[in-house]
Homo-oligomer: A and B are copies of this chain.
Amino acid sequence: MVDHPELPDLDALDRRILRALQVDASQSLDEIARQVGSSKTPVWNRIRKLREAGVIRRQTVILDPQALGLGTCFFVLVRTSEHEAGWQQRFLAALRERPEVLEAHRLAGEVDYILKVRVPDAKGYDAFYQALIRDVRIFDVTALLSMEEIKETTALPL
């Protein structure tokens, strides 16, 4: 599980394997081999290499946020006036620490950062927001509340 040893050239079989794994990673090697039109050993060798190359980062379960009492999702647009290294360090550290922040991107353009945050309810968001602005100075925050998840996938197009 090295970071990026080399950029691997993926052939059609590799891609078919990755596609099958993205759909369901609990399938047996036999099933995957059948689906991709190959057999056990080559599929196994390729999966091992894709893992080592870091193309496959990890294997995980996707949970239902509703069932876990995290039914509320916000996208948060953050503008800041501060751009020194010290401020950014603290801001990034704060985001990484907070488990309700599922995604954080630094952006090009007017908006500096976007966050995806999952909380139990609006009150939970407010608590997160208050804690965040206590930690770091922020110029402007716009919270976009998700009313409905139209689509949600981890599957990259291959």
Residues of A bordering B, CB below 8 Å? 4, 7-8, 10, 18, 21-26, 53-68, 70, 73, 75, 92, 95-96, 99-109, 111, 113-114, 118, 144-158
Contact = CB atoms under 8 A, between A and B. Distances in A.
Contacts of A155: 60, 99, 102
Contacts of A22: 60-61, 63
A54 to B, nearest CB: 6
Q: Which residue, A68, A92, A150, A157, has most C-beta atoms of chain B within 10 A? A: A150
Contacts of A157: 70, 99-100, 118
Contact of A55 (B24, B64, B75, B156): B64
Contacts of A158: 68
A117 B2 CA distance: 27
A60 B113 CA distance: 28
A63 B156 contact: yes
A59 B56 contact: no
A105 B148 contact: yes
A68 B55 CA distance: 8
A158 B64 CA distance: 12
A149 B25 contact: no
B18 A150 contact: no
B150 A104 contact: yes
A109 to B, nearest CB: 7
Nearest to A20: B61
A59 B60 contact: yes
